[in-house]
Amino acid sequence: MYSILFSIQILACFTFYASSKKVKHVSKNTCLEKVKNHSKTARIISCLLLLITGVLLLSDLGLGSSFFAFFAFLMIAFSLLILLYPFGIVQWKYILVVFVISLSVELFFN
């Protein structure tokens, strides 16, 4: 469950990052251009995704632990995006591979 929630947070953080007018995108992707052109809608969707992950963490972990986990996930996601996206390392196929590995490890050991 935590790998799914972290993936949703990464998607929300990437949408926030991609909706900025100051970001120079590495590749010309039509999806990124739509996000950049509709930045207000993209930010609302990002806030809703972050709210959903926060509520799911709150229902699973409780009040104190969920706030800590939410902000730790958020700091990790934004740090990874800000550091790795300008180098072109953040691509969907790599994110999908990391997600499948983390989900399989989480399901195997729980």
User: Per residue in 17-26, pLDDT tens?
Assistant: 888 888 777 6
Burial letters 77-110, b for 16+ CB under 10 A, else e: bbebbeeebeeeebeeeeeeeeeeeeeeeeeeee
Backbone phi, then psi, for 59, in 5-degree steps? -70, -25
Residue 29 in this model has a pLDDT that exceeds 80: no
Most confident of 25-29, 61-65, 84-88, 91-95: 61-65
Q: What pLDDT, on the 0 to 100 scale, is given for residue 26?
A: 67
Range of the domain at 29: 2-109
* Domain count for the chain: 1
**Percentage above 90 pLDDT, the chain:** 45
Confidence of residue 79 (pLDDT cuts 50, 70, 90): very high
What predicted TM-score, i.e. pTM, was given to this entire model? Answer: 0.83
Q: Mean pLDDT over all residues of the chain?
A: 88
Residue found under tokens 């990002």: 46
